[in-house]
Structure 1
Amino acid sequence: MRLWSLHPALLDAKGLVALWREGLLAQAVLAGATRGYRHHPQLVRFRAHPMPLTAIAAYLHAVADEAEARSYRFDRAKLPPREDVTPIEVSEGQLAHEFAHLLRKLEQRDPARAARLSGTAPLPHPLMRVVPGPVAEWEVGR
């Protein structure tokens, strides 16, 4: 499971669809609707949020917004209504780490996209607020 701190616009088609599926799984985990993935490190920041289900819904609405901008059809009926929510902090180090990880994936799947993104600054997901700091403690394989 990878819940990117990056803006969904940076993802290729496969990455965006995977993010939607994984985000829906995260929503089910946070709602207690599944037994698997309960201790997944990607959920730490959502669990720490004062309103975890509202936060994951806001996260997924932004993913659906990007899908609609690309004329994809993601089923928003799977989400609660959009609400205002306090942003989640993401460190500069975490954002840079994820951007480098994404570029490595894109070099394999979509070299043209990787080339376009290379040398640009990573954009955060609309739910994220960038703060100074290193790669997050929860990041697997640090």
Structure 2
Amino acid sequence: MRIWSLHPGHLDRAGLVACWRETLLAQAVLAGRTRGYRSHPQLHRFREAADPLAAITAYLHGVADEADRRGYRFDRSRVDLPAPAPEHAPRLAVTDGQLALEWRHLGAKLAARSPEDAARWHGTEPTPHPLFVVEPGPVAPWERA
């Protein structure tokens, strides 16, 4: 499971679809609807949020917004809660070290499976998913990449 800290606009088609599906699974875990993946490290930062379901909801809507921008049809009815108003959307911290690690990881994935997207990606700077605020720091302790 990879719930990217990177903005979903950086992902190729396969990455965006996988991110959507994996985050829906994470939502089910956080809502207590499934037993699988309960101890997955990617869920750590959502569990630490003041309202984990609100945080995962904001994340999912951010991914769906990117899908809409590209003309894809992600089923928003699968998201447990409606999108929060921008002024009420939760924000989580992500370190610049974590963002850099994910940027390198994504670059390697794109080079292997999506050369056109890799060419578009090369030379750009990482931006975070709208849920995240970047702070200085190392790779997150929960990271397993």
Query: Structure 1-normalised TM-score?
Result: 0.97
Structure 2 counterpart of 1:54, which letter? A
In the alignment, structure 1 residue 12 sits paired with structure 2 residue 16:
no
After superposition, what is the alpha-carbon deviation per residue over 1:70-92, rounded to whole angstroms, capped at 9, x for unaligned?
Answer: 11000001111112233110000
Structure 2 counterpart of 1:81, which letter? P
After superposition, what is the alpha-carbon deviation per residue over 1:115-140, rounded to whole angstroms, capped at 9, x for unaligned?
Answer: 22122210100000000001100000
Report SS of the residue matched to 1:126. coil
* Residue correspondence of structure 1 range 47-62 to structure 2 within 5 A: 47-62=47-62
Contact 2:54/2:90, CA 8 A, preserved across alignment: no
Q: Which runs of 4+ in 1 moved over 6 A?
A: none
Report SS of the residue matched to 1:89. strand
Between Structure 1 and Structure 2, how many residues are aligned? 141
**Aligned mate of 2:94, from 90, 97, 109:** 90
* Residue correspondence of structure 1 range 25-40 to structure 2 within 5 A: 25-40=25-40
Aligned to 1:131: 135
Indicate the RMSD between aligned Cα atoms, in angstroms. Answer: 0.8
Q: Distance in 2 between matches of 1:115 and 1:138?
A: 30
Structure 2 counterpart of 1:33, which letter? R
Aligned to 1:46: 46
Report SS of the residue matched to 1:137. coil
Q: Distance in 2 between matches of 1:25 and 1:6?
A: 19
**Percent sequence identity over matched residues?**
62
Q: Gapped runs of 5+ residues in structure 1?
A: none
Report SS of the residue matched to 1:129. strand
